[in-house]
Amino acid sequence: MKRKAASKPKRLKKFIRNLALLGFAGALLALGINFFVIAAGRRHIVTAQQAAAFDADCILVLGAGVLGPDNAPSPMLADRLAQGVELYVLGASDRLLMSGDHGRKDYDEVNTMKTYAVSRGIPSANVFMDHAGFSTYESLYRAKEIFGVKKVVIVTQKYHLFRALYIAERLGLEACGVASDPRSYAGQGYRSAREVLARDKDFFYTIFKPSPTYLGETIPIGGSGDRTNDKD
């Protein structure tokens, strides 16, 4: 005797239940990856004094927002820059690599970053700009492939530093990181939530290692940072 086909309400309930289970499993996976990236990155966070003894090829300052028509550094970026300059003075490296977004003429993180460092007495030739650091992954990929960096001190806020250090390790860089968190920042709850998704994304990026938006000619970090200045 043939079984009767399940009624539409029963099939719908089963579909919803399976969809909910799938969503739950996906959420658990996403959170598991998030905590894995945090744990892996946390091992390489050090103090400024410890970083000074690291003998790095460069201090990599990761870009953040700039404000207004003058591209003034946002509070987060200003704190990263202050920490980068402090590390330079402490002797962590004699090279600064400013990596950020300069994808449009009217939006320029990296020249703002270099101007900050030079205005505080660091020679222009010792400050490099990566104009195509459009993401954390791309900044670290290009640090290795374009600038020839092998050993690096990374500077950013702590919530972001976990992921940056994880990426660096997976790309084959020897890295430590110094957190720049002297104050709280408006909108941090949103950024921290978004960072969970970013950690998941870069977990997979570091498996497949896609090329960044731009590569280009090599600019050795041991040379002059003025090679990265805008052409007139």
In a domain, residue 218? The reply is yes
The residue range of the domain holding 149 is: 37-225
In a domain, residue 30? The reply is no
Strand partners, 80: none
How confident is the model at residue 167, as a pLDDT? 98
**pLDDT over 90 (residue 3):** no
In a domain, residue 122? The reply is yes
In a domain, residue 17? The reply is no
CATH of the domain at 207: 3.40.50.620
**pLDDT over 50 (residue 1):** no
pLDDT (mean) for 87-94: 98
In a domain, residue 120? The reply is yes
In a domain, residue 73? The reply is yes
In a domain, residue 15? The reply is no
Number of domains in the chain: 1
In a domain, residue 55? The reply is yes
How confident is the model at residue 65, as a pLDDT? 95
